[in-house]
A and B are shown apart, each in its own frame.
Chain A
Amino acid sequence: MGENRNRPTARLSGLVREVMRRPVRWGLLEIAFWVAAVLSWFLLPERHLILTEIVGLAIFVLSIDLILGFAGIVSLGQAAMYGAGAYASGLLSIHVTGEPITGLLVGALAGAVVAFPTSFLLLRGGDLTRLMVTLGVAAVLYELANQTGWLTGGADGLQGIAIEPLFGRFEFDFYGRTGYAYSLAVLFVLFVLARLITASPFGISLKAVRDNPLRASAVGIPVHARQVAIYTLAGAYAGVAGALYTQTQQFISLDVLSFQKSADGLMVLVIGGTGYLYGGLIGAVVYKLIQDGIATLTPQYWQFWVGILLVAFVLIGRERPRQLVDRIAARLRRPAPQPSAEPASRAVVPGQQEV
């Protein structure tokens, strides 16, 4: 080892390894976040239902963050995969088995099956093409679910979903005790997985693709393969979110495939901040609290205020919350090496890369 230190390539690869490992470490704030999440199960027993909704939303938004925040693919149709997962797991529980874990896996599979062919449609073309294609795919699925009423229940929704106890032991009760713990566990597993993926060389190459596809391909990153892979993975994530929704609500309406669903997801992600995994989680918490608060004030017109919020948010600058979190995190980190260690991780949205 002492010999290697003198060789420049070895030193360089050591540096690279150091840089690559940096995002893998768990920060103080992160640990606090998850401790708080676990504590909420014990301390807020009467809020379990809304907490479950928050967790489900967080997974859905996590899937959008994977493609938008990390790979720079804009999408208005993430509901396609969410709905596919929801319906797949719902139909599974009605016709085959109500075992929850199988349901999640089937949901993930359904999401990935929808996402994989779609991703090829997104490889070429600019932002608008992508928006339109994702929107179109989600709209096709929506109409499909609407028309095949014999299978999906159509506009009446899919009813009669019965979920067996988790591990044959924990009943999904009315108060959402099991449901919340289960959702939280699923979120944690998916989150850790996403964390590993985004910190891996694969994840770093994704960011390179996001920031400048042309340069990324010039340094030898297979841009298209990366985009297909991440879109399919995000589809699986959205599928899991949909399956989780089915299992905790035990009812599916057509709304799971609606444009509204995709737009909501995008909104939540933007509230929390794109390009870092906690954006989706923080956004989901904030969004649900806001929605809950406004809905108690004006039950019918909460959408109005959400719209105002969105407009104001974009006008003020949507990178602000992220900066706040970064600043807190930087203060908690004892030695502050550079004021901003990673300028590249700022949420840069594609379509404007200088070529």
Chain B
Amino acid sequence: MSRRARMLFALVLAPVMSVALMGKAFAEDAQRWAVNMPKGVTPVSNAIYDIHMIIFWICVVIGIGVFAVMFYSMFAHRKSKGAVAANFHENTTAEIVWTVIPALLLIVMAIPATSALLDVYDTSEAEMDIKITGYQWKWQYEYLGEDVAYMSELATPEEEIYNTAPKSQYYLQEVSQALVIPAKTKVRFLITAKDVIHSWWVPDLGVKKDAIPGLVNETWAFVEEPGIYRGECAELCGKGHAFMPIVINVLEKEEYKAWIDKKKAEVAAVRELAKKTFTLDELMAQGEAAYNRSCAACHMGNGEGIPGVFPGLKGSAIATGPVAGHLDIVVHGKAGTAMQAFGGQLSEVDLAAIITYERNAWGNATGDVVQPIDVLKFKQGQ
């Protein structure tokens, strides 16, 4: 509080000083003071950047013209200088001229804009397809035809958000698992949502598309430069709107091949792991981490929820009642509420760990241990 107050005091009362400070910071860190959109790393993002700059400069030129006449009048035709008002109040020629010229300028703008838009829409001949599903408040990436799918959630810890820990470099722009795609490959994205409307936006790729429940949108990217690119959700989707970033790791084609093979092996390994038996402590430790990743956004880290919006779990009937009921709501969700069906989102190990954690944390001392195999059996309807 006091730091903010000091800051305010300094900046409000000494604007000169703040301008000087700004100048220094400008030199030090260009990205922090970015004033324009990124050029990006795809042909589409470059086309967008070019059309953006063309329109911008046309506007600047018109603006300078209009304001020049206006400021000239303000200086030259001031009453205090003894200016006497003329009495003209229409001029058909002038009015026709300044209707026709803007109209022509608009046509000049429309031509490159049309060709750029056709680029954005050209989804033909994609080499691979990835389905992107927006959830409250995370993304799911599904490699179609590859049997690889995973959730990508915010990795920034709550302590950084609530200012009890220093913020790291990629604050709110880091995720549990990035989307991985190959470079120099035309990738088609099929975008949809589970619950409310989200919007998948990665500025460097020149890609933004609404994710709408019940509707599948498509867009595409051809990334030229391998690297890590960051984006965010751009459509208001509830309280976690600012907390569902996108991270894309673009690899060279061969590296991508190795990555997807490794990923497939991992999927098989996780399935195998579900048959193992864990101790209460192991499940509690893993459960706390998984809970904070997938559940704490609504039910809160302390299990108390948000009264009237999201129910608390501390001492709740579900978390302290029969295990079957608890499994049912976590695996199958609850229709008509924000409670999702996590059965398809998380591994059996994570589900078992979360349920065990919820039944034993915050004074919910049921002592129950739910094993991954129990979850698996429940899922199979046994």
Are A and B associated in one complex?
A: no
User: Which A positions have Cβ atoms within 8 angstroms of B?
Assistant: none
